[in-house]
Structure 1
Amino acid sequence: MTTPLIAVLGSINMDLVTTTATRPAPGETVLGRGFAMVPGGKGANQAIAASRAGGQTMFLGAIGTDVFAPRLRAVLTESLVDTTGLRTIDGPSGIATIVVDDTGENTIIVVGGANTAMTELTDADRTAIAAADILVCQLEIPLETVTAAARHARAHDTTVILNPSPVQHLSEELWEHVDVAVVNTGEAGQLGGLLDRVPHVVVTLGAHGARHRGPDGAETTATGPTVEVVDTTGAGDTFTGALAVHWGQGPATALRFACTAGSLATTALGASASIPWRTEIDAVLPG
């Protein structure tokens, strides 16, 4: 397999993760069991996932000048992600407050911080996108920047994979430049009509794997290995990054690889900390 060049444009946060038996209802106070600070953010997670899965990956994003910034940069570097496109913005980095219960399910609140300053592409961003085989985007940075990136990618024959999360209204201009949409079942229901807008739609189904439908209407499904779930945080991002690495080999191969990576990501606490490396994925990849 030729190593694909992947540019990931998106968010990077410090995740503040609390574990508890049950997540609190409105107005309720519960006792937590543990606390950890784990680098995350949908963009960074997907970049780390793509790099660990074997892609040559560059991250285009922003960190602040706070105490979290050095660790956020370091986790990308440790995962062999090219950080020459990582900007430093005066002020706080993005953070996410995450509560994980005993079933592995989570509740997340994101505060954008430096991510909100990503209001336009730099010349270096444009160069990286034009050179890439695949551009991966999400929606935790300003929409106008995502749209500009997708437009620039299309103009340079770079495949655009969009994970439209958190769900919000998107312009038809953005949809016109998207080749692959990756959504979970809830997002698919909220967005509706995806097959009329995007040639390839991939829907993640949690423990049941994922489903792809292409422009000809044909469907492909895949599942990952059975695992003991500890924390689902970052599993979807791991799936998306891994999918990008193998997309050039066809949806069926990409889906099988991504489902395996996503399953493995649920076996440890935290987002970036749980993302598997290529050797770990290959060791359990269904034949």
Structure 2
Amino acid sequence: MTDSSRPRIVVAGSANMDLVGFAERLPRPGETVLGHDFVMAPGGKGANQAIAAARAGASCTMLGAIGSDAFGVTIKARLNASGVDTEHLRTSYGSSGVAVIMVDGGGENSIIVSPGANNTFAGLSAAETTVIAESDVLVCQQEIPPDTVLAAARAAHAGGTRFILNAAPARDLAPELLETIDLLVVNEGEATAITGTPEPDLPALLALVPRVVLTLGANGSRYADRDGREEHVPAFPVEAADSTAAGDAFTGALAVAWGEGRDLIAAVRWANAAGAACARTAGASASLPSRADIDALYSRYA
């Protein structure tokens, strides 16, 4: 794929250092469980999705903030090594974001995030706004200040850039933000938090946004839009080692496939392959698959 044919993806989001501990099972409240491994690696939903998009074939730019600590240096180095443009990545005095992650023997996880520098990512500059407006797809999450997500979304809307919101972690979505969303990506918990329903309700979500992808973990994904299209897209069978960044691999690959002009159901199917390929390897950013890895798994089972 030549540079001229690569979709231009900009990710405005969080960057963290992930501290990952592995044990046979997750501890209950007040309990200590003896683990068997530990990994420290750059992560954060924004950085993960930027790396995922770059590895999946995009020309990707990361907007966000890292700290002035050693974690920040490592995060930026990982982004650069993965082919992500960090020219506009801010450095804020103080601590970078940190995520403490516990992973059990089945690959399930629990995560606590301390935002650090991510909370300083506010007030988009003219240069940052221009980067968004000149891209094919903007991807945001909800680990940065809500006003920044809204500002980025408005810049995308004004520039004709398609906007994907991965509404994680779950929180209320302002009406003015909902008006800018082209595609909402949520898991089951996030879907119910947004609609206030006991179970994921696609019609309720489509009353808010024009297109929805509901991720279902090992059960794949479901796509629906206001044109009446709705389809369950099965998962790709793999032996999961760690699901920590699988959702980010999915979202990054989905942005790339949509930016390449694929039909959205086909894009979701390819993104499912990216999520499955990611889950085969432990770690966050280190496990994000290359385009070749995604295509190999997709070709085997699609």
Fold shared by both chains (TM-score > 0.5): yes
Aligned ranges 1:76-87 → 2 under 5 Å = 76-87=79-90
- Contact 1:221–1:252 (CA<8 Å) still a contact in 2? no
Deviation at 1:197, TM superposition (A): 1.2
Amino acid at match of 2:35: G
Aligned with 1:104 (options 104, 107, 112): 107
Q: Does 1:174 align with 2:183?
A: no
Match of 2:209 in 1: 198
- Contact 1:202–1:212 (CA<8 Å) still a contact in 2? yes
Q: How many angstroms apart in 1 are the aligned matches of 2:298 and 2:272?
A: 9
Deviation at 1:270, TM superposition (A): 1.1
Match of 1:128 in 2: 131
Aligned with 1:45 (options 42, 45, 48): 48
Amino acid at match of 2:239: E
Match of 2:198 in 1: none
Deviation at 1:221, TM superposition (A): 2.7
State the Cα deviation string for residues 70-123 of structure 1 (Å, max 9, x = none). 110011111101111111000000000000011110000000010000121112
Deviation at 1:220, TM superposition (A): 2.4
TM-score relative to the length of structure 2 = 0.93
- Contact 2:253–2:274 (CA<8 Å) still a contact in 1? yes
Aligned with 2:272 (options 259, 265, 280): 259
How many residue pairs align between the two structures? 287
Deviation at 1:208, TM superposition (A): 1.3
- Contact 2:80–2:86 (CA<8 Å) still a contact in 1? yes
- Contact 2:220–2:236 (CA<8 Å) still a contact in 1? no
SS across alignment from 2:293: helix
Amino acid at match of 2:188: T
Q: How many angstroms apart in 1 are the aligned matches of 2:24 and 2:149?
A: 37
Deviation at 1:6, TM superposition (A): 0.5
Match of 1:54 in 2: 57
Aligned with 1:228 (options 207, 230, 239): 239
Q: How many angstroms apart in 1 are the aligned matches of 2:126 and 2:91?
A: 16
- Contact 1:45–1:271 (CA<8 Å) still a contact in 2? yes
Deviation at 1:189, TM superposition (A): 1.5
Deviation at 1:279, TM superposition (A): 0.8
Aligned with 1:280 (options 270, 293, 297): 293
Identity fraction in percent: 53
* Superposed CA RMSD: 1.1
- Contact 1:61–1:86 (CA<8 Å) still a contact in 2? yes
- Contact 1:164–1:183 (CA<8 Å) still a contact in 2? yes
Query: Could you list the runs of 5+ residues in structure 2 that have no partner in the other structure?
Result: 196-203
Q: Does 1:212 align with 2:215?
A: no
Amino acid at match of 1:243: L
Q: How many angstroms apart in 2 are the aligned matches of 1:140 and 1:90?
A: 19
Q: How many angstroms apart in 2 are the aligned matches of 1:12 and 1:169?
A: 22
Q: How many angstroms apart in 2 are the aligned matches of 1:114 and 1:215?
A: 38
Q: How many angstroms apart in 2 are the aligned matches of 1:82 and 1:19?
A: 32
Q: How many angstroms apart in 1 are the aligned matches of 2:294 and 2:155?
A: 32
Deviation at 1:223, TM superposition (A): 2.6
SS across alignment from 2:124: coil
- Contact 2:221–2:268 (CA<8 Å) still a contact in 1? yes
SS across alignment from 1:36: strand
Deviation at 1:22, TM superposition (A): 1.2
TM-score relative to the length of structure 1 = 0.98
Q: How many angstroms apart in 1 are the aligned matches of 2:194 and 2:12?
A: 21
- Contact 1:221–1:255 (CA<8 Å) still a contact in 2? no
Amino acid at match of 1:99: M
- Contact 2:173–2:194 (CA<8 Å) still a contact in 1? no
